[in-house]
A and B are shown apart, each in its own frame.
Chain A
Amino acid sequence: MAKPQTASASTDYRAIERQEILARLQDRALALVNVMPPDSFTAGHIPGSVNLSIAEIQTKARLLLSNLSQEIAIYCAGPS
């Protein structure tokens, strides 16, 4: 449970795999953020994701994700 991970970790992001997302779909500690445009989001997204398109990040991020140390998995259309 107590993984050695400091709160001030570098801005380097860690990867997350499909299996982990799948296993944690019900886990509220993990927020799923879909950064695709709203219409792509409505067309289909991983259940439980919130939509935060690139254009909206500056304005809406703090509203949707109030906790800065919240664990957040980000994804978009595919490998880019």
Chain B
Amino acid sequence: MGLLAAIGYRNLRYYAGGMADWLEHDGAVAPLPPAAAAAQAASSPGLLWLEVVANFSLATLVGVWLGMIAVFGLLYWLAGIAMGWGLQAGNAAVNPDLPGLGTAIYFSFVTALSIGYGDVVPTGALRFIAVVEGAAGLLIFGCVISKLVSRRQEELTEQIHRTTFEERLNRVRTNLHLVFSDLGLVQQLQAEQGGLPDLVLRRLESTARVLRGELQAVHDLLYRCREMPNEETMESLLSNVIICLEALAEVTGALPGARSATLERMLHSIGQLANEICGECVPRQYAPELKESMDRIQELARRIG
């Protein structure tokens, strides 16, 4: 931990539980030794079964549910043939023929849905099998319902994500544009007056602060984001960043030695962030033009930071 921090890694996180905690909660392990896999499966069979079922797709779940009903129906029917104690409809035993199979499957449905009309009743040990079917049917059916609900929810979340994402992109672009025009103004004043009065200096500080924030946003976009803007948007963002950094480099380059501590800190931070936007270090593949833009940003970062 400390060793990695000493090398310079800045985004370290520590999973204190380690392998012990991971295994205790049935985390997947690679490579999976067969013995360990068996032991894992045996350690919590009930929960594991439910988790496996809950991960099925909707179609599979419905299939499993229907299959279970069919199998149990067949079981009731076969029990009637083989052992003589089967289902009873009214006061008569259900016959081991084709209509009897229909009745058994009907009973299976009624049980799995926990309706329990009571027109067909199990006898003997079949009662316990029916209870098991009822419980399993409820659980699987619950999974089906939750799948349906969560699917809709996922769609909504996705939509919200996309909207906020696009809004954010627009804001970054607008802000960068504002930063650029502000820097232009400062530059003009600088040329006219051969230095910067306090008020303008403070304006420069606040502009630098906005630029820093937006640079962080672009940086995050490149490093850790779920969705990517298309390359065109990215290119326009990067070129906006470039013109802003160029203007900033010019303004600060001509600034007389005494800069305020705030400005110094901002510039340092901007330099650091921009330095990490380079074609080599960004962990994603982009078109070559974008790499060039990123390298240009890094070059400017060296001038500023």
Q: Are A and B interaction partners?
A: yes
Interface mask (B2-19 → A, CB under 8 Å = 1, otherwise 0): 111101111111111111
CB neighbours (8 Å) of A66 from chain B are 281
How far in angstroms is the closest Cβ of chain B from A75? 4
Return the contact of A44 from the options B2, B14, B15, B36 (Cβ within 8 A): B36
CB neighbours (8 Å) of B10 from chain A are 7-9, 11, 68-69
B4 touches A61 (CB 8 A): yes
A70 touches B13 (CB 8 A): no
CB neighbours (8 Å) of B206 from chain A are none
A75 touches B29 (CB 8 A): no
CB neighbours (8 Å) of A61 from chain B are 3-4, 7, 9
Interface mask (A50-67 → B, CB under 8 Å = 1, otherwise 0): 000010011001100111
Given A57-B3, A66-B281, A67-B283, A79 contacting B12 (CB threshold 8 A): no
Given A2-B216, A65-B9, A72-B12, A77 contacting B283 (CB threshold 8 A): no
Return the contact of A71 from the options B13, B16, B216, B276 (Cβ within 8 A): B13
B19 touches A14 (CB 8 A): no
A74 touches B224 (CB 8 A): no
Return the contact of B19 from the options A29, A48, A69, A76 (Cβ within 8 A): A76
How far in angstroms is the closest Cβ of chain A from B294? 13
How far in angstroms is the closest Cβ of chain A from B88? 49
B4 touches A72 (CB 8 A): yes
A22 touches B27 (CB 8 A): yes
Q: How far is the CA of A11 from the CA of B126 in the complex (A)?
A: 65
Given A14-B13, A65-B9, A67-B281, A75 contacting B18 (CB threshold 8 A): yes
B56 interfacial contact with A, CB 8 Å: no
A1 touches B13 (CB 8 A): no
- Chain A interface residues (CB < 8 Å from chain B): 1-3, 6-9, 11, 13-18, 21-22, 25, 28-29, 33, 36, 42-49, 54, 57-58, 61-62, 65-80
